[in-house]
Structure 1
């Protein structure tokens, strides 16, 4: 429990320091208004946190939403993204059952920024199918280390640029703001009903400061394990032909398994040698080991297109939803991956305050590295198969062979590779605040910041099928043929030793009755003693992008009788250099590293430059139209730089075929940033100390939305020793567009129990004409038309509980790895949490995630063209927290 004192006039003049990462407005106001008559707010439990949230929002100069944790570990969610999803206008993706990336006000993950204490945190994606983007992966940051979250929807000149939807600032705790010898410990057990496993989650924090309260440190550590299992139904592509039909290329029932081990360490050191000077040093280290495996039993309807069309029994909008083929092909695809991701940040923050000015100096660095460090894929083909599928209602797929009998599947192929990446940035900034008495202006702020960043991607391909006959000078002899000679079926070599397994997803047929994936045996044969394989650089997917950014701003804060706000302009200069390989096509785009098998006759590392500058003006004003009512107006020009992958020299392709359409993607180093002129207008009514109502209208007039073009070029298919055409989709500088919408939120406390609810309506349109044959045309990524959050709580001195519902309607997710447009169907999830305060120091907790066991459904353009149905299951967490 803590006592918090605030005074409106004081807060109005100090909120800017809060948004820059300084002390909370309540602490500052309490100190400056000690001898004045003020209102005292008792902050405790759920109601206390809600009070603090709405008061921080109330006295901000711009449109901002804030969530605070009134004690360590008391966020209702296990990672920050899930907490953010409770905020009006914020949506979260949950591809693997845990919040990963966010969208704000209709702008997808790549159009938003997340900053830790006001600075960038590097991100390296662990999943091999993820593209290198600018969005932060929130699975790297457990909520226990965070004190508060700020979502800035209307920018100010002093706020770092780069967001189209909004900027999220995560604030951590500081030892000089806490009592000496503060200790927080928690131990939890998390049960996942999909995997049937229970995993430990441990966290601890210790904060100390000396008697003079001018030197202190805080250290925290979090260890979270999770046994993840995702089961589903996948269609890897819908192939359209000149015959007017679209046919699913591969239908499979995948079973994805992953062991997540996340370790996060955070430390803060503070020293205040004088009353004017405070130095703060933050250090973050977070690592997640995420080895994973995927087993998928696939059929191939487009292998015999004419047969699939002839036998079709259900066709909707040209999509073959039900058909059969007595001679159809089936195969198992087993994938094993060694993956990890690690991020570090070191940040020095120096504040010097006098009566005449305030100076802030910050310098630091961040680096992330990781990715898929090793992958192998094994294919075993059904000796005789045939299939019958029906994708209407609950999909069913049946094979003419028993899938759980390994003797029915014979050796096919082995391939693999790796995809590591890095993301790093060095930054330095200097900000100056001058108190002034010039008309309505009370402060002038100015500053300069320099950022130097680099994002890289490596890519290797492994070949087990080559032999010394191909290259007598090599020191390896590919072992694929030896493996398949010794293990001709899945019933040999212990490949079926783990028995049968049922894929528990909303689908029927014998496709769900599968042979368990024996990863250990496959890994031993592929990488154990006596194994040999060629290692190649996959030249088209190796790239680096360097980015140097210089920004300057000037901002004036003003206030008067019944109003306050700010006006300013930010200037930003960006210099980008994209580098990659230029190579001849005579080696399948590969260069063998441990031999002379494949070596392009022409190979050169080349770079392209792209420079641009922008002026970004902003204006915000808050008008006190009554003692408890505020009307806000905000206007600004904002920008968002394009994804790293999109501005790289990347060229990637899916699995090639001589009988099916081949697709790929390319980057474009000459992409311009996305620019928008935005306007916000909001009404806020604070009708009691823990209750409020707000309504907001927002509009973003966007130019240079990303468009795409298709270029067809031949590429060499080494497995079949044939040249095949590939349709490459490349992003380009496109047309303008418009995002506008309405936000409504209400928070009402009845005394001991209460509700919060918010709803966001978003409308989008683009100047580009919608053409389904042109990927992404007329679309804006990440936008759900409807988003809804509901929460109800009850608490007394001993017990507290919440139940929460989060919903978003369907949205366009961007380009699938096969080149198709990908959409996510509407998704709603129920969560709940409860706590029992045993005494002042000990609290027992219980949480439930995805209570209704909702599934994630993805589709291609038309909802009948299902791409995937994923079941992540429910999770239950029980634990104890000790604070003293």
Structure 2
């Protein structure tokens, strides 16, 4: 038990509960509301109920529509990163494509139109997955929950907070050493078991904080290591093109894939804080977080649209062929993809606050940089002879089926097809500096005037290199062997039984029926050895070529100025302000002639375009963003809030680049996507009105209505252009999709929140209804038209807990209805079906300093189901499985 002196804010509310195993203080914005009236003694309380009281207290005394989660509360969640913790907040949805929360939506706004700030600043992020395109959304796999002290979700903006969000701004706060006891130690040791991988993975985190006797200097060091074997199995359709001969949509490919990844996350955090006197406070934060994400994927595929003319016994639903049969002469192949991938973020931030009697000066400067992506990929394809290949498929029902006349567990059935690969690294970098002044005033209701300036210089890049094992000179020094190194591989490894290319069998029957689930397992180590080292005494060789259309960079310079007035009076408080933002963007990419298929070989004489130049396109715009927040105290325990603002969100980096990409060319009707450097940002006018009733220290009932008038959504147009198909040695037409600024629309909805404690028990629940509509007419022939990304009409959270001095248990359910995810990489509309997840946690305080814990994630083993607009057109069903975590936490 600890005793502290703090200022009293209101007799009706318990203030400044020191929450968390490290004596965490309340978020800064709540402390700003404390008035110096008298000194009271507060006893530190730990636990679920105490942290919820702290969360509610911070929300109650904020000057905007804000939700808060403290570190103690995060510690009670079975969450391994911040996105999963955010999913408990009203109006926040999370995506879990690989079983772990990665990206969020807020109030129907897509992940790319929400901002995440660490201590008020940008954190660079780069995705590891090769199919992800660089966007504005933050990848939360980089931030374990143990790193943060508390998080705040601003649903109504302040002029003093960075622009860039249509839905909401998430601000993560890290711990500070002078806010903790000297020589504080926090250690967590855990083991995580995943049903999908059938593996136990270690997870360890540690924190040490020290400060000197006079509280003028402190050091905090935190280290986190989390390993996870990720296994995802399922069924997937790679596209739904309209086949003109059948006048119906037909699955392009149907595959039964198995994805495996060794995910290793290491995070280091250092905080130095100096407070030489009562006026000056300085904090230096350094973050280094890395995720090694090497992965492999095998996919046993049938090429339905390629064999559309031979389809029989078809079943058509809503103009789509959802079941059928090819008796013989079909096309099928194994794709084996091996990737060396990672992502790393580094940030350094210096924060200085000087408080004088007549003003407060705050300055913050820093630099953040991320690099990530796939640094080496090898994709092998082995096919089957057409005369022995037949198949049947049925995509209906909760468990589709797919079978072939080929025994996919027999490696002798498969013949060489093609090998391709390459690199796709990305970078994200930003340097920032800001200066803020706060001047106390007594002018009518105004209590303070804040003004400031901020400058951000950012750059996002993507490189792309293609590997060609069939390239020239790949057999230099081995003239006695005919052809290229690719020819040598396929002559030696003439089926999958040769060269040690397979390593047993695997059964992928979790979500699929039929014999396509019985497969051979590929030998990743041998494949990579053959591709990159050599085979039968012949050294490996492959040509490296720049894939010119996919290489780009975008520079962005942002200057922001703001002024904000804080006001308060008898029974009301709030702020009013305006933020001016000037944005200058430069998008660069290659312009080239088509004589080298868009490639430039860099390690030998082979492909060189006759014309090649780096071309840059400038796009500049400025916006004025006013905001108003006001809270009325209807009574001692009831608050009425109103907020109005103009907000903006810049377009995704990839969309404003100069890139053009396309998928497989060996299919009927290949597709691709192109970017548009002249896209303008999304602008929206919004207002919120909420009623909050704090009928007990740990109880709340609140209702909020929100409305957003979006001025322009991103739309898409299409065009057709030729691309060279190397394997078939011919030019083919590709249909490309390009983004453009389209008509706007309106989003409105309401949120209902309730929480209350009943002795040792407690309950928390919230519900969000969102109705998002676009002014653009819905045209099924124009993919994406009339749709709003990221919006679930209904979202709900429910949590019940039981807590005593010894035991704490919590059961949590998170649910959202279906949502539109944007365009698939093949140009089709991609939807995620409704998803609900049940999680649980149990902890036992062995001593005052040692806690045993048991956590369960996805207890009901929910599947991720995606479809193409009509639920009959299945895109994928993935099973990520349950996870269980057992651990011990020690605090000293």
1:8 corresponding residue in structure 2? 9
Q: Once the two structures are superposed, what CA deviation does each residue of 1:620-652 show, in whole Å capped at 9, x if it has no partner? A: 000001110000000000000000000000100
Q: Counterpart in 2 of 1:282?
A: 285
Say which of 579, 600, 606 aligns to 1:570. 579
Report SS of the residue matched to 2:178: helix
Does residue 421 of the first structure (1) align with residue 423 of the second (2)? Answer: no
Superimposed CA distance per residue, residues 749-776 of structure 1 (whole angstroms, 9 cap, x where no aligned partner): 1011110000000001111100111111
SS of the residue 1:720 aligns to? coil
Q: Distance in 1 between matches of 2:210 and 2:474?
A: 68
Q: List, as ranges, runs of 4+ consecutive aligned residues in structure 1 with deviation greater than 4 Å.
A: 1-6, 9-12, 25-34, 38-42, 71-75, 469-474
Shift of 1:43: 2.9
Residue in structure 2 matched with residue 267 of structure 1 by the alignment: 270
Alignment partner of 1:485 out of 488, 491, 513: 491
SS in 2 for 1:43: coil
The 8 Å contact of residues 254 and 303 in structure 2, kept in 1 or not, is answered as yes
**How does 1:497-576 map onto structure 2 within 5 Å?**
498-529=503-534, 530-576=539-585
Deviation at 1:473, TM superposition (A): 15
SS at match of 2:595: coil
Give the corresponding residue for 2:81: 79
Supply the distance in 1 between the matched residues of 2:295 and 2:587 (Cα, whole angstroms). 31
- Structure 1 length normalisation: TM-score? 0.96
Among 56, 59, 62, the residue aligned to 1:60: 62
Describe the shift of the 1:391–1:6 C-alpha distance in structure 2 as closer, same or farther (beyond 3 A).
Answer: farther
Whole-angstrom distance in 1 between the partners of 2:101 and 2:408? 34
Q: CA deviation at 1:8?
A: 3.2
The answer to whether the Cα contact below 8 Å between 1:470 and 1:597 also exists between their aligned partners in 2 is: no
Deviation string for 1:387-425 (max 9, x for gaps)? 011111121111011110001111111000110000000
- Give how far 1:717 is off: 1.5
CA distance in 1, matches of 2:722, 2:12: 65
Report SS of the residue matched to 1:149.
Answer: strand
Once the two structures are superposed, what CA deviation does each residue of 1:81-115 show, in whole Å capped at 9, x if it has no partner?
00000000000000000000000000010000000
Residues 42 and 23 of structure 1: is their aligned pair in 2 closer, same or farther, counting only changes over 3 Å?
closer
Supply the distance in 2 between the matched residues of 1:210 and 1:700 (Cα, whole angstroms): 50
Instruction: Indicate if the aligned counterparts of 2:238 and 2:875 stay in contact, CA closer than 8 A.
Output: yes
Give the counterpart of 2:198 among 192, 196, 199. 196
1:155-166 to 2 correspondences below 5 Å = 155-166=157-168
For 2:19, the equivalent position in structure 1 comes to none
Distance 1:71 1:864 in 2: 41
1:391 maps to 2:399: no
- The answer on whether the counterparts of 1:312 and 1:320 sit within 8 Å (CA) in structure 2 is no
Report the equivalent of 1:814: 822
1:39 shift after superposition: 8.7
Q: Would you say the 8 A contact 1:555–1:569 is kept in 2? A: yes
1:857 to 855, 865, 874: 865
Contact 2:438 2:448 in 1 (8 A): yes
Secondary structure (helix, strand or coil) at the match of 1:66 reads: strand
Aligned to 2:883: 875
The CA distance in 2 between the partners of 1:3 and 1:459, in whole Å, is 59
* Superposition RMSD in Å: 2.2
Counterpart in the other structure of 1:728: 736
Query: Are the counterparts in 1 of residues 9 and 35 from structure 2 also a CA contact under 8 Å?
Result: no
Deviation for aligned residue 1:42: 5.0
Question: Distance in 1 between the 2:12 and 2:485 partners?
Answer: 71
Q: State the SS of the aligned residue for 1:257.
A: strand
CA distance in 2 between partners of 1:39 and 1:707 (Å): 58
Are 1:336 and 2:338 counterparts?
yes
Aligned to 1:489, the other structure's residue is in SS state: coil
Q: 1:291 — aligned with what?
A: 294
Gaps of 5+ in 2: 17-23
Deviations 1:704-731 (A, max 9, x none): 2101100111122222121111111000
1:72 positional shift? 8.8
Change in 2 beyond 3 A, CA 1:326/1:813: same
Once the two structures are superposed, the pairs formed by residues 316-331 of structure 1 within 5 Å of their partners are 316-327=317-328, 328-331=330-333
Question: Match for residue 18 of structure 1?
Answer: none
Determine the C-alpha separation between the residues in 2 that align with 1:614 and 1:841: 52
For 1:346, the equivalent position in structure 2 comes to 348
Q: Secondary structure at the match of 2:105?
A: strand
Residues 329-355 of structure 1 show CA distances to partners (whole Å, capped at 9, x for unaligned) of 111000000000000000000000011
SS across alignment from 1:499? strand
Tell me if the contact between 1:69 and 1:75 (Cα under 8 Å) persists in the aligned partners: no
Q: 1:44 aligns with which of 46, 53, 57?
A: 46
Cα distance change on mapping 1:656 and 1:607 into 2, 3 Å: same
Give 3-state SS (helix, strand or coil) of 1:852's partner.
coil
Residue 30 and residue 642 in structure 1: after superposition, are their counterparts in 2 closer, same or farther (change >3 A)? Answer: closer
Following the alignment from structure 1 to structure 2, what is the Cα–Cα distance between the partners of residues 118 and 808?
29
Q: 3-state SS of the aligned residue for 1:51? A: helix
Distance 2:542 2:718 in 1: 35
Q: 2 CA distance for matches of 1:280 and 1:116?
A: 14
2:631 to 615, 622, 626: 622
Does the Cα contact within 8 Å between 2:30 and 2:61 map onto a contact in 1?
Answer: no
Q: Distance in 1 between matches of 2:474 and 2:221?
A: 59
Match of residue 676 from structure 2: 668
Distance 2:807 2:149 in 1: 22
CA distance in 1: counterparts of 2:886 and 2:25, whole angstroms: 34
**Are 1:458 and 2:463 counterparts?**
yes
CA distance in 2, matches of 1:163, 1:471: 55
Greater alpha carbon shift after TM alignment, 65-74 vs 703-712: 65-74
**Whole-angstrom distance in 2 between the partners of 1:6 and 1:824:** 49
Please report how far the alpha carbon of residue 2 of structure 1 lies from its aligned counterpart in structure 2 after TM superposition: 5.5
Contact between 2:415 and 2:495, CA under 8 Å: does it hold in 1? yes
Distance 1:29 1:468 in 2: 70
Aligned to 2:114: 112
Distance 1:507 1:586, change over 3 A: same
The residue aligned with 2:358 is 356
Counterpart secondary structure, 2:594? coil
The aligned residue for residue 258 of structure 2 is 255
Tell me if the contact between 2:464 and 2:550 (Cα under 8 Å) persists in the aligned partners: yes
The structure-2 alpha-carbon separation of the partners of 1:290 and 1:280, relative to structure 1 and needing over 3 Å to count, comes to same
Q: Partners in 2 of 1:546 and 1:692 — Cα distance? A: 45
Report the CA distance between 1:7 and its aligned residue: 3.3
CA deviation map 1:567-609 (0-9, x unaligned): 0000000000000000111111111111121111111000000
Q: Shift in Å at residue 27 of structure 1?
A: 9.0
> Per the alignment, in what secondary structure is the counterpart of residue 171 of structure 1?
strand
Residue 805 (1) aligns with residue 813 (2) = yes
* d(CA) in 1 for partners of 2:443, 2:704: 31
Instruction: Indicate which of 686, 692, 713 corresponds to 1:678.
Output: 686
> Residue 28 of structure 1: CA displacement?
4.8
Q: CA deviation at 1:33?
A: 4.5
Asked whether the equivalents of residues 576 and 611 of structure 1 are also in contact (C-alpha less than 8 Å), the reply is yes
Q: Does the 8 A contact of 1:478 with 1:531 survive in 2?
A: no
Deviation of residue 73 (structure 1)?
4.5
SS of the residue 1:704 aligns to: coil
Name the SS for the 2:197 alignment partner.
coil
Q: CA deviation at 1:504?
A: 3.4
Secondary structure class of the residue paired with 2:668? coil
Distance 1:755 1:41, change over 3 A: farther
Contact 2:474 2:542 in 1 (8 A): no
Query: Secondary structure in 2 aligned to 1:732?
Result: strand
Please state whether the residue corresponding to 2:313 is helix, strand or coil.
Answer: coil
Q: How far has the Cα of 1:505 moved from its partner? A: 2.4
Equivalent-residue separation in structure 1 for 2:698 and 2:735 (angstroms) = 57
* SS of equivalent to 2:522: coil
Using the alignment, how far apart are the partners of 1:646 and 1:301 within structure 2?
31
Contact kept, 8 Å, 2:52 with 2:73, in 1: the verdict is no
- Scaled by the length of structure 2, the TM-score of the pair is 0.95
Answer yes or no: is the 8 Å Cα contact 2:475–2:484 preserved in 1.
no
- How many angstroms does 1:275 deviate by? 1.1
1 CA distance for matches of 2:380 and 2:809? 48
Report the CA distance between 1:868 and its aligned residue.
Answer: 0.4
